[in-house]
A and B are shown apart, each in its own frame.
Chain A
Amino acid sequence: MNVVETYESQVMDKVEAACQHIAPLWPLKNFVAVNPYFGLSNQPFWQAHETLERITGTGLCMPRAYYHEQIARGRITRSDLAAALQQLGILWDVSSFEQVLARDTPASATPLNLVTNVLGGLDGEDWSNFVVERISRYCAAYFDEGQALWSMPWRDTSLYSGWLAFTCFDKSPRMMGVRGMRHAMAALPDTAQGAIVWALRELDMPPAAIDDYLYAALLSIGGWAGWTRYLRWQAELQGDHDDSIRDLLAIRLAWDALLYKLCYSETLETHWRQSLAAVTKPIGHTDVGFHIDAVLQTTFEVGYQRQLTMSLIGAQGAAEHKGRADVQAVFCIDVRSEVYRRALETVAPRVQTLGFAGFFGILMEYLPFGAVEAKGHLPILFNPSYRIGECLDSANAWEADKLIVQRHTRMRVAKAWKTFKTSASSTFAFVEAVGLLSAPKLISDSMGWTRPVSLPERMGLSVGVHERLGPVLTHGELGSKACVNGGLTGIPETDRPSVAEFVLRNMGMVRDFARLVLFVGHGSTTVNNPQATGLDCGACGGQSGEVSARIAAALLNDPLTRRGLVANGIEIPADTYFMAGLHDTTTDEVQLFNTDDVPSSHTADVTKMHRWLATAGQITRMERATFLGIGDVPIPTIHADMRRRTRDWAQVRPEWALAGNAAFIAAPRSRTVHRDLAGRAFLHEYNWHNDAHFDTLQLIMTAPMIVANWINMQYYGSVVDNHRFGSGNKVLHNVVGGSIGVLEGNGGDLRAGLALQSLHDGARWMHEPMRLNVIIEAPQRAIDDVIARHNRVRELVDNAWIHLFQIDEDGNMNRRGIDKQWRRN
């Protein structure tokens, strides 16, 4: 291998590494939480802080003013400070730290300069924004899912080749006063790899600067980088590969190199060299400001840990329940369930609640009534094993076919109507003929009597039909019309016992079944909210958890399943009945499904349950009202206000969702029952005594714990660096590319993460940026074992992206230190 090839392959390795640094960004139709620092988890937390600060100017800490405010409020105390200093192994004592803090004025970090930044600094034009705008516009057209009627001609070529063709016609640089673009573009190689190598050469990039430069280049167009990373993620899940992200990097670098060439001057070269020299300069690790940041953030976290430990300590251990519970209700681990579960247990002490990921252990994709394409209904980490179809309750195939044809026709007419409404040649006549029909719609939507657009899942269905639809367990082909290419749906009878066993064992439900067992999924109700799916169940791929709960209940009511389960050692009593429900997190109402099918033996239980759920909802709403700023109004008003939020098309804060999340607890409910965790903890049911080979522990630590970490970090990133990892001001959101994502205002980069309105109520942050505190009740050896075997888990724990605690038999909390040793907390 010659020198040139070696250089190229080295560069390509660096390119891959830079691409892996970027976190994927899911589209608005499945807006699930993603850890924006996903690609940095192979670095220790504080090293990642430094990396980000060096490249973007904003690390993993809040601005100093925030911590000063916490000190003033008493949220950060001196004793917490002492604990943090000790934990970090820093030699300051509290008072000397306070002196250092008082003296230190944080230097504003300078981000890494790209060529466009240097150029902009010289001639006053905002070249960086210009380039981001060009690329963002190009990407929006390339990836558009149907907003534009005239789609871009180069969508069937690669992102990079399309850009070459597009930019050859583009006169924008000429309008900015740059001549010779077309000529200069002729020098560009045909491939993205070639372009990257070419650009780095043109810029005379020293090898030591390449890593940072590539990462900075991708972050400068971070939203679209996230989108292309998502495309790669999806492709890899299918066993495929997608290189759009590399193409995007090539485009960004090509712009830099082209502008450098075309705007070349000696001053530019001098400044550019200086800027490069700053990148390659070794970093001093003894920076005082860095240590202060680390201490303050850690103290902030220690304060919460202390509070949490106090509320958990002394809780009784895995004591067995006295007798059989009246009802067992399984909720999603989502922090919003914690409040409701606490309320339900207060109302009905003989109800036992459990926490499990909201897909209830069934890896499925869902085929809506009459649809030809199934949608994943499971955590984004997995591939589906089964396809579940939505069917009509009656077995009347003729009626189902009729309704499906009706649905198709109505949706086609709606589509034709929409085209008529928006097309260039017809929109004028549309306005004059039927535009006035918008007047009543405008009034009724404004008053909240109607929804601007009908619910996607009810599109094309007559009133009352949706209530008759539900997921079906039966294995086979759906009605003739329904499965145009639908294939088989349902769960085969032979698989059912093993699927059910997987569900029950991981839930920790292997004996002592109550008469009534509820699976409660969750979903939110909002209108006109582009990021609405972000409020739904993440474990169901950013959708309502209804279907998963219903199919789980159907599976466990199935006599065949139960017969098979006996052979696997799980005996469900004949008088146990499973039911599904949906927790509306906006209003905290819980709705139960298929109440007509309840056997007469259980109607009394269900009636009682309905009453409990209603009261629990009432209590939950009162607790949440404080955060919504309506805490001081009468209870019926609270309820009415929350209902109004679900219909208000101008509501930018329908609910606080997972704001405040800070802990993940995998332990028996008896550890946490009646403890006020303030809706900040993910609660996963886990009793290690029932987990012979620690398979469930492994599952918990590799799936729900990771998901909780992702959610936690999404909030973290959106708070500490909303500009890069959050989506800015919601009142400016502008949906782009159909349902790809939002722009803030007129243009700029695609925005990832959460809007400021989802984090801040106008007076204060509703979320405290803290790393997730994971608390597991299991032997230390077993936990260590899982950590050792799973790279992803090991990175999170050893690189301190999460704080890990263990609860021992006596209810004591032990912390796992960076030295991998367990210490009593």
Chain B
Amino acid sequence: MPVHPSMITSSLMLILPWPLFVVGLVVGIGADRHARLMRALTMGASWFALVCAILAAVTYGVGMTHSTTYILVHLPERLGVLAVNADVNSLTVLLLLLVALVGMVVARYAYTYLVGDTHEGRFHRWLSFTLGSFLMMISSGNMWVFLIFWIVTSLCLHKLLAFYRERPVAVLAARKKYLLHRIADASLLVAFVLIAHTLHTSQFAGIGPALAGTHGSLSEPLQIASGLLVVSAVLKSAQFPFHGWLIQVMEAPTPVSALLHAGIIYTGAFLILRMVPIMSRAMWTGDALIVMGLVSIAAASLMMMTTTNIKGSLAYSTCAQVGFMLMECGLGLYSLVLLHIVSHSVYKAHAFLSSGSVVDHFRVPALPTVPRAATMGKAIASLIIAAPVVIGMRLVFGVPWLQQTPLIVMGIILTVAISHLLLQALNMGKIGMKGFLWMMISLSALISAAYFGLDILFTTIFGAMLSPAQGSAGVVHDGILGAIIFVFVGLLVVQQMLPRILHHPFWQAIYVHLYNDLYIDMFFTRLVRKFGQGNVAEPLPATREDDLWEVIS
């Protein structure tokens, strides 16, 4: 096949993960015996992926957007084709860049972090393999290849999550994830079959054009398919009440948590983004996503507030953040979802990798205490100050708002966030509060400016591809939008009023239940343990002394 310059981007995207595969599959045999080699090669391969991703972004930027297919297998039963090709578009290029960057940082971290571990080589093997297949999944333009690497990534990740096989909790968490992901796989498989059958295409790029001819609501099989896509996405995103395993994966080394929280956990949201042509036309699935996301936001945020260990706190926060992304998916704000994925990925990767630094915050010199008085009135005052700041910035940036209800909702969420910042000043006593308040107001203005600026930037770049959903309407939808506002204002009020309601028996009970993860995970644990007793995939936990001695021998 002649290589045309316009295909360079596509080729770069496809060769980018191969060194990682080679390290994982070939060099990785007997990895523990050549750990040094493994760590060097993993780092090299992840650098290669990053360099390719940067080059691909550049070549894409200059307009080399032609895609090319390398292997083509026709599938029976009208399932379309299985083809190895890359979807060259702004979404895949950006995400490849993101994941390659985080992957490099994680590999670099693991390079020193795991030195001396009994199974150091094995760790790098599965890290390479996981990263490689995840990158392959992102760039894939064919649904069947996507599905294959969707499954492979999950299986490889399983090896990393259960890296310390002698730790019962690690094995248990990995097993919970394993079961949920297999349901997600099945659901995705059926969805893809339905889509391929109905639309006669197995390429992501073919979905939009195939649907372009139709108007009105989707056909029944596609309605079902979009429902199944939602199921897959929600299960992949560790949403409440299936979030338990996500919280427990600190039983695996820190870089695994970072990779998971900064990349793989967005698989569900990424799937929705790839399926925008379908999703944006299936109204009820949007509402379902909002509800699922919102429940996770509320539950995980409240649980996070009670968590006492740093990694648990970060994990709950991820659960809520992914819920937020799904909610945005449901609202049809796809370019905002992309912005959220990118921002949250780098933020959470950094937060996890630097979680050991939390102690430094407690070593700083003690400040003079300032009397604080948190009242409901102040919460209202903060909202009143925040609203004009947000509205003003919105006008400055010329973001249309009254026309679109989802944007109004987002504006309110931003207002609530900013009022929380203002409350930091308002809750102080009168002394020193005034200067501080002005500082916080200016900070709020900056934050709003950044928010709308990025909003516009992402809409401009990705809007064409991720065009927002047609406005949904109806009482149910309005009710759901109301619920969003209720949840966010509710979170603000609960946090503001905590010192006062803390000792009320009702809130005491709420506290205990939240701190215990609402018992849901305990329930799943027992379920999985019973279920798993028959087919133990991993050796049973050895005693702890043995694990110590394994290090020595």
Chain A residues in contact with chain B, CB under 8 A? Answer: 28-29, 58, 63, 65-66, 126, 137, 140-141, 144-153, 165-166, 169-172, 175-176, 368-373, 407-409, 411-413, 415-420, 422-436, 438-439, 441-443, 445-446, 452-457, 459-460, 484-485, 527-530, 532-533, 648-653, 722-723, 729, 731-739, 743, 745-747, 756-757, 760-765
B346 contacts A722, CB within 8 Å? no
B324 nearest CB neighbor, chain A only: A428
Contact of B522 among A175, A369, A743 (CB under 8 A): A175
Name the residue on A nearest B425 (C-beta).
A416
CB A718 to nearest CB in B, in angstroms, measures 11
6 A-B pairs with the lowest CB-CB distances in the bound complex, closest first? A762-B116, A435-B343, A371-B365, A429-B417, A424-B301, A452-B354
Contact of A408 with B508 in the complex, beta carbons under 8 Å: no
Does B363 lie within 8 Å of A148, measured CB to CB? no
Report A534 CB to chain B, min CB distance, Å.
11
Contact call A411/B367, Cβ cutoff below 8 A: yes
| CB of B126 closer than 8 Å to a CB of A | no
Most buried by A among B307, B369, B544, B549: B307
Instruction: Tell me if B359 and A530 are in contact (CB < 8 A).
Output: yes
Given A149-B495, A176-B526, A527-B357: A428 and B367 interface contact (C-beta under 8 Å) = no
Contact B361 A166 (CB under 8 A): no
- Residue of chain A at shortest CB distance from B508: A153
How many angstroms between the C-alpha atoms of A723 and B549 in the bound complex?
11
Contact of B346 among A171, A415, A439 (CB under 8 A): A439
A432 and B421 in contact, given A438-B346, A650-B111, A723-B548 (Cβ under 8 angstroms): no
Q: Is the CB of B309 within 8 A of A743?
A: yes
Interchain CB contact under 8 A, B367 and A442: no
- Bits for B93-122, please: 1 = Cβ < 8 Å to A, else 0: 000000001101100111111111110100
Contact of A453 among B360, B365, B420, B552 (CB under 8 A): B360
Instruction: Please name 14 pairs of A and B residues whose Cβ atoms are closer than 8 Å in the assembled complex, sorted by A.
Output: A141-B306, A150-B511, A150-B514, A170-B512, A172-B522, A175-B522, A419-B424, A432-B340, A435-B342, A442-B102, A442-B350, A528-B354, A530-B356, A651-B112
In the bound complex, CA of A739 to CA of B551 (Å): 28
B542 interfacial contact with A, CB 8 Å: no
CB 8 Å contact bits of B409-432 with A (1 = contact, 0 = none): 000011011101100110000000
Tell me whether chain B's interface is mostly helix, strand or loop, or mixed: helix
> Provided the pairs A141-B308, A435-B346 are in contact, do residues A760 and B354 lie with their beta carbons within 8 angstroms?
no
- On whether the beta carbons of A425 and B548 are closer than 8 Å, the reply is no
| Cα separation A536 to B414 with both chains bound (whole Å) | 44
B495–A424 touching, CB < 8 Å? yes
B346 lies within 8 A of A735 (CB): no
Question: Are A169's CB and B114's CB within 8 A?
Answer: no
Interface residue count on the B side (C-beta < 8 Å): 122
The residue of chain B having its C-beta at the shortest distance from the C-beta of A27 within the complex is: B362
In the complex, the answer to whether B344 meets A735 with C-beta atoms within 8 Å is no
Apart from A63-B545, A435-B346, A739-B361, list 7 A-B contacts with CB within 8 A.
Answer: A416-B424, A425-B491, A432-B340, A432-B454, A453-B361, A528-B357, A746-B248
Whether the Cβ atoms of B353 and A28 lie closer than 8 Å is: no
Central interface residue in A140, A373, A443, A650, by most chain B CB within 10 Å: A650
* B220 CB to nearest chain A CB (Å): 35
The reply to whether the CB of B401 lies closer than 8 angstroms to some CB of chain A is no
| Cβ-defined contact, A435 with B365, below 8 A | no
| Bound Cα distance from A65 to B167, whole angstroms | 24
What's the least CB distance linking A419 to chain B, in Å? 6
Q: How far is the CB of B553 from chain A (nearest CB, A)?
A: 8
B526: chain A residues at CB < 8 Å are 175-176
Nearest CB in chain B to that of A424: its residue: B301
A58 with B545: CB separation less than 8 A: yes
Contacts of A419 on B, CB cut-off 8 Å? 420-421, 424
Contacts of A484 in B (CB 8 A): 368
- Report if B463 contacts A (CB, 8 A): no
B112 in contact with A739 (CB, 8 Å): no
* CB-based nearest A residue for B253: A731
The docked-state distance in angstroms from the alpha carbon of A58 to that of B248 is 29
Residue numbers in B under 8 Å from A152 (CB-CB): 511, 515
B544 contacts A723, CB within 8 Å? yes
A171 in contact with B513 (CB, 8 Å): yes
Chain B residues whose C-beta falls within 8 Å of the C-beta of A443 in the assembled complex: 101, 105
> Which residues of B sit under 8 angstroms from A438, Cβ to Cβ?
343, 346-347, 349-351
In angstroms, how far is the closest chain A Cβ from the Cβ of B545?
6
Determine if A172 and B417 form an interchain contact, defined as CB atoms under 8 angstroms apart. no
Residue pair B454, A456 in contact (C-beta under 8 Å): no
Tell me the residues in window 24-55 of chain B with beta carbons closer than 8 Å to chain A beta carbons: none
Residue numbers in B under 8 Å from A430 (CB-CB): 417, 447
Inter-chain contact B451/A650, CB cutoff 8 Å? no
A734 touches B308 (CB 8 A): no
Given the complex of chains A and B, what is the CA–CA distance between A745 and B368 in angstroms? 35
Task: Check A368–B365 contact: CB distance below 8 A.
Answer: yes
- Nearest A residue to B358, CB-CB: A735
B259 sits at the interface (CB 8 A): no
Does the CB pair A529–B310 fall under 8 Å?
A: no
Which stretch of B83-91, B127-135, B197-205, B312-320 is in the interface? Answer: B312-320
* Contact between chains at B417 and A372 (CB < 8 Å): no
Tell me the smallest distance from the CB of B304 to a CB of chain A, in Å. 7
Q: CA of A371 to CA of B367 in the docked complex: distance in angstroms?
A: 6
How far is B354's CA from A527's CA once the two chains are assembled, in angstroms? 9
- Contact status A734-B309, CB under 8 Å: yes
Residues of B within 8 A of A148 (CB): 305-308, 313
Chain A CB count within 10 A is highest, among B105, B311, B364, for: B364
Across-interface contacts of B101 in A (CB, < 8 A): 439, 442-443
Are A409 and B436 in contact (CB-based, < 8 A)? yes
CB-based contact B440/A416 at 8 Å: yes
Determine the residue in chain A with the shortest Cβ distance to B172.
Answer: A746
Which residues of the other chain, B, contact A170 by a CB distance below 8 angstroms? 512, 516
**Cβ-defined contact, A176 with B522, below 8 A:** yes
Are the C-beta atoms of B305 and A149 separated by less than 8 Å?
Answer: yes
Q: Which of B247, B347, B503 has the most CB of A within 10 A?
A: B347
By a CB distance below 8 angstroms, the chain B residues around A372 are 366-369
For A459, the chain B residues whose CB sits under 8 A away are 364-365
Q: B414–A429 contact, CB under 8 A?
A: yes
Say yes or no for B523: interface residue by CB 8 A criterion.
Answer: yes
B211 to chain A, nearest CB (A): 29
Expressed in whole angstroms, the minimum distance between the Cβ of B105 and any Cβ of chain A is: 5
Q: Is the CB of A427 within 8 A of B454?
A: no
Tell whether, in the assembled complex, residue A426 and residue B516 are in contact, meaning their CB atoms are under 8 Å apart.
Answer: no
The reply to whether A431 and B359 form a contact with Cβ atoms under 8 Å apart is: no
The chain A residue sitting closest to B504, CB to CB, is A153
A150 pairs with B344, CB closer than 8 A: no
Q: How far is the CB of B371 from chain A (nearest CB, A)?
A: 13
Q: Is the CB of B311 within 8 A of A734?
A: yes
Q: How far is the CA of A140 from the CA of B302 in the complex (A)?
A: 17
**B516 A172 Cβ-Cβ under 8 A:** yes
Measured CB to CB, the closest approach of chain A to B471, in angstroms, equals: 21
Contacts of B339 in A (CB 8 A): 432
Q: Scan residues 204-256 of chain B and give those whose CB is less than 8 A from a CB of chain A.
A: 247-248, 250-255
CA distance A433 to B410 in the complex (A): 12
Query: Cβ of B179 < 8 Å from any Cβ of A?
Result: no
A22 to chain B, nearest CB (A): 20
Highest count of chain B CB atoms <10 Å: which of A428, A435, A446, A452: A428
Most chain A CB within 10 A, of B120, B368, B522, is at B368
Does A738 contact B368, Cβ atoms closer than 8 Å?
A: no
Q: Distance (Å) between the CB of A229 and the closest chain B CB?
A: 20
Let me know if B363 and A739 touch, CB within 8 A. Answer: yes
Q: Is the CB of A424 within 8 A of B320?
A: yes
| Bound Cα distance from A651 to B355, whole angstroms | 13
Nearest-CB residue, chain B, relative to A374: B366
By beta carbon, the residue of chain A nearest B313 is A147
Cβ of B376 within 8 Å of any chain A Cβ, yes or no, is: no
**Which residue of the partner chain A has the closest CB to B113?**
A650
Is B509 on the interface with A (CB-CB < 8 A)?
yes
Say yes or no: B360 contacts A147, CB within 8 Å.
no
Chain A residue with minimal CB distance to B553?
A: A65
Residues of chain A within 8 A of B117, CB atoms compared: 731, 762
With A153-B511, A425-B491, A652-B115 known to touch, is A29 a contact of B359 (CB < 8 Å)?
yes
